[in-house]
Structure 1
Amino acid sequence: MLHKFNVSVLNDYSQRFARKVCDDFFLHNSSASGQHILNLTAIPQINLFVISSLYDKWKADAEAFKSPFFDFENAEVREALKQFMNVVSRNISVKREYLEPILGEATKDTLVLLIDPNSYFNEIFRNQTNFTVTAETIQQLRKYVRFNKIVPQALADSLSDRAFIYVNQAIEWSEQVIAQRASELDSIEQWVGAFSEKVPLDVASLLKKAARPEPPAPVIETPAAKSFFDTLAEETPVVQPVKIEETVVPKPIEVPKSVESFKSPVTLPTASRQTINDSAGNGLKESLNDRLRTEQSTVSDSYQKQPIASISQNIPLHQKFMFIHQLFSGSNSAYESAIAELEQAPDFATARSLISYKFASQYLWDMTGDTVGELLEIVKRRFGH
């Protein structure tokens, strides 16, 4: 995802660079051997990317050689095929019409890796199958990446004994390495001269220009006649507020202790009785309503936190439809497969990783969204969190 680059300019430069290199090399050679390619340009990273591309083609050819009519898993056959492919690899011979486009792609990848390593590694990881980055992939990067090689080295160290990590995790780790160890990245300026020996390189031309809005023209205020609405505040006479007398509620009549023995009723004014009754009644209603709301909230919260034995059986039908359409692009089979995988997770940490790094990457989820949050809450209950 080359967001920072002017892709057309980047492609044009890479093609012109590859053309110039091939012009110079094939002036005296009819084909390029492996050793020729390792020294093809003054930029080792370009040469290694060409070799890496040939390695991928070599592996693909080995797979294509296999036939369903023969047992290629037989130990003798496997050893013979390995020997054959090794001999082939030692006899690289590439004509110009095949080498030039590969060299152009290698040049483009080198420029992206050098100028914006985040874009390069993100693109590599997003293209991995099954949304996972294997330890083998990281080792291949270590073998063929020379510019900003601290990234694959750091990822290899972080993987330790893991066989793979999910794509989002690999991207997160690589971005952290680039941000935290920026001083160790390769200098762009150091290699501009090597590129320019073949084709002059202006790094700024490869990047998108940020659109800068023109500063607003200064507003010159001119005196103008005031509108009717502006004069209202000045001409409207000030009216003194009318003081409202507060209604004095008669105090309850206190009955002397000496009179209590007669137990004669005391009659209060009608207004006072009504005020007291309303006040008492409202206070009682508010108290009961607040108590009921609190109890209902407590019961609801307790229910939502109760552990469950199954994720699928605790997703109501309306919520299931919401998950299918908002999280799984309307695919019921994708939903069922994901829920089954979450059910089989051994613990909450594994289930959370599936959501955060596999499904979020596969279906482009917004991890801060309410729908993902609802799914995560159900998964938490499944594992007692």
Structure 2
Amino acid sequence: MSNKFHQSVLTEYSRSYARRVCADFFSNHTFISGKQILTLTPIGQINLFIVSNLFDKWKSDAEKFRSPYFDFTHPEVEEAMRSFMNVVSQHIAVRREHLEPMLADALRKTLTLIFDPRYFFDDLLRNQPDFTLTSDAAKQIVRYTQINKFVANYLVERMNGKPFMYVNQALNCLDEVLSQRGHELEKYDRYVAILSEKVPIDLNALLRTSPGVANGSPARSFFDTELESDNTGAQSPNVGGAAEASGNQPTDLSSAPLRPTLLTETGQRTFSPAEPPMSQPAVPADSFSDSPGVGVQFSPDESDRYTREPVAAPVAAPVSQASPFASGTLSQSPSFEAPRLSADSDSRSGTGEPTSVAEAFHRAPIESIGKSISLNQKFRFINQLFSGSSTSYAQAIEELDQMENYGQALDLISYRYASQYLWDMSSDEVSELVEILKRRFA
């Protein structure tokens, strides 16, 4: 729930506005049609949200026709169903008792989109099924978004024709577009004036923060402003998007939060268990682990578990025109080499042989992830990694087993499960699961 509003005031205002609009319309009508909904209020976004709600109900009702006793995949049945539902959609007839709550909800969403666009799109993405944003869903968001539509368009552009992207990736795209183009967010003034013609709106009572802060570029923290005043280096093309909107210098990458990184023979994989703070621009995962001055690796301790340890790095040379930061070749910087962790470096001695028979057994390749997990591990994985849901656990293991290589499996963990279930990437359970993946794709 957005913290920029006094929720009780927002709820009451939305209900009051809906009552007033419905009272005016239904004084002369019994039903409202689809075309009438599109012109119900002078703010098109409110009307579109109502139509979007009806579209969801239309799809839900279509699914209710399906039965296990009939073949709904037959071409004739599919065509008949499509024709029937299309005809139904042309005869929308909504009574007041059903429209009024939909209108109130549409107004709440519209006000959130106006005053807190970051929260609006963040919440919309996090509620996508299976923590995945499909291309169809992205197009629907564009279709029913009128205010700040460039944000929705940016998500579709970044998908680049792919059938889906994980929500964690979509949230990073959201950070990018708001950091780079936050100055393009629509102003609230004219919408407040239009709403006040029907029901006066008191911004001081509605908002917890100043309206000026609620609109325009995203708010920035002390660490993004005071610390950047001393940074006069050249700006990297991969970071500092927020600086373009605010005019400040970009934050030094060495102050960014650490992310655990695994390096394999096929390339680098970076875990992103949590999104960056909303008050600072996102740092792309593919450039973060190459940042000068900091590094993270997983190294084995005496109990053969991976733990997160800081790695000392050489002091980076002053930024100059010849610097990789100035030329845009951040990942090729000669002043820092990311730590490497091979698939078997922690299980072999200096002679290249396994340190024990037990270790050799536990690191032998396996054909199935599920069959290699002990009963005790299974209970711990379900409780610690999947919020106690055995169904979610079984589905995840099945999907991981279907991956083609170790890199794809790590991507699935990083972009879906870690963010969806808020994993602690330094926990024993995550380390054990990663070790099992290594054996599966060895």
Q: TM-score range by the shorter chain?
A: 0.5 to 0.7
CA displacement at 1:26 relative to structure 2:
1.9
* Residue 168 (str. 1) matches residue 175 (str. 2): no
Mapping of residues 111-126 of structure 1, within 5 Å:
111-126=111-126
C-alpha distance in 2, partners of 1:180/1:153?
14
C-alpha distance in 1, partners of 2:181/2:208?
25
Instruction: Assess, with a 3 A threshold, how the Cα gap between structure 1 residues 150 and 322 changes in structure 2: closer, same or farther.
Output: same
Show CA shifts across 1:200-222 (max 9, x none). 22334333469xxxxxxxxxxxx
2:192 partner letter: V
1:354 corresponds in structure 2 to 412
Larger Rg, first or second structure (1 or 2): 1
1:102 corresponds in structure 2 to 102
* Runs of at least 5 residues in structure 1 that lack an aligned partner in the other structure: 211-295
SS in 2 for 1:181: helix
Instruction: Assess, with a 3 A threshold, how the Cα gap between structure 1 residues 349 and 195 changes in structure 2: closer, same or farther.
Output: farther
C-alpha distance in 1, partners of 2:426/2:188?
36
Show CA shifts across 1:253-296 (max 9, x none). xxxxxxxxxxxxxxxxxxxxxxxxxxxxxxxxxxxxxxxxxxx9
1:366 counterpart (417, 424, 434):
424
Show CA shifts across 1:39-58 (max 9, x none). 11110100011111111112
SS in 2 for 1:108: helix
1:348 partner letter: Y
2:107 partner letter: T
1:133 corresponds in structure 2 to 133
Show CA shifts across 1:82-110 (max 9, x none). 22222222222222111111111111111
C-alpha distance in 2, partners of 1:340/1:69?
29
SS in 1 for 2:60: helix
| Structure with the largest fraction of helix | 1
1:200 partner letter: P
1:254 corresponds in structure 2 to none
CA displacement at 1:119 relative to structure 2:
1.7
Contact 1:5 1:207 in 2 (8 A): yes
Instruction: Assess, with a 3 A threshold, how the Cα gap between structure 1 residues 89 and 337 changes in structure 2: closer, same or farther.
Output: closer
CA displacement at 1:146 relative to structure 2:
0.6
CA displacement at 1:80 relative to structure 2:
2.7
C-alpha distance in 2, partners of 1:300/1:144?
52
Instruction: Assess, with a 3 A threshold, how the Cα gap between structure 1 residues 363 and 29 changes in structure 2: closer, same or farther.
Output: same
Q: TM-score, normalised by structure 2?
A: 0.59
Instruction: Assess, with a 3 A threshold, how the Cα gap between structure 1 residues 54 and 353 changes in structure 2: closer, same or farther.
Output: same
Instruction: Assess, with a 3 A threshold, how the Cα gap between structure 1 residues 375 and 4 changes in structure 2: closer, same or farther.
Output: farther
Q: Which moved more, 1:374-383 or 1:161-170?
A: 374-383
Instruction: Assess, with a 3 A threshold, how the Cα gap between structure 1 residues 181 and 349 changes in structure 2: closer, same or farther.
Output: farther
1:48 corresponds in structure 2 to 48
SS in 2 for 1:197: helix
SS in 2 for 1:136: helix
CA displacement at 1:111 relative to structure 2:
0.9
Show CA shifts across 1:15-43 (max 9, x none). 11111111222233332111211111110
* Residue 194 (str. 1) matches residue 194 (str. 2): yes
SS in 2 for 1:174: helix
SS in 2 for 1:201: coil
SS in 2 for 1:31: coil
1:309 corresponds in structure 2 to 365
C-alpha distance in 1, partners of 2:391/2:37?
48
1:82 partner letter: R
SS in 2 for 1:366: coil
Show CA shifts across 1:140-195 (max 9, x none). 11111111111221111111232222222222222322222101222122311111
| Larger RCO: 1 or 2 (CA < 8 Å, sep 6+) | 1
C-alpha distance in 1, partners of 2:203/2:139?
30
2:11 corresponds in structure 1 to 11
C-alpha distance in 2, partners of 1:39/1:146?
14
2:422 partner letter: L
C-alpha distance in 2, partners of 1:36/1:84?
22
CA displacement at 1:3 relative to structure 2:
3.4
2:182 corresponds in structure 1 to 182
Mapping of residues 1-385 of structure 1, within 5 Å:
1-208=1-208, 300=346, 302=348, 309-310=365-366, 322-330=380-388, 334-335=392-393, 337-367=395-425, 371-372=429-430, 375-376=433-434, 379=437, 383=441
Instruction: Assess, with a 3 A threshold, how the Cα gap between structure 1 residues 207 and 353 changes in structure 2: closer, same or farther.
Output: farther
Instruction: Assess, with a 3 A threshold, how the Cα gap between structure 1 residues 329 and 17 changes in structure 2: closer, same or farther.
Output: same
Identity over aligned pairs, percent: 48
CA displacement at 1:134 relative to structure 2:
1.1
CA displacement at 1:70 relative to structure 2:
4.2
Show CA shifts across 1:309-363 (max 9, x none). 2366887887666544432335566545534433432233321221122212332
Instruction: Assess, with a 3 A threshold, how the Cα gap between structure 1 residues 318 and 202 changes in structure 2: closer, same or farther.
Output: same
C-alpha distance in 2, partners of 1:299/1:96?
69
* Runs of at least 5 residues in structure 2 that lack an aligned partner in the other structure: 211-303, 305-343, 349-353
CA displacement at 1:307 relative to structure 2:
7.4
Q: TM-score, normalised by structure 1?
A: 0.67
C-alpha distance in 2, partners of 1:93/1:16?
23
Contact 1:168 1:361 in 2 (8 A): yes
C-alpha distance in 2, partners of 1:58/1:183?
37
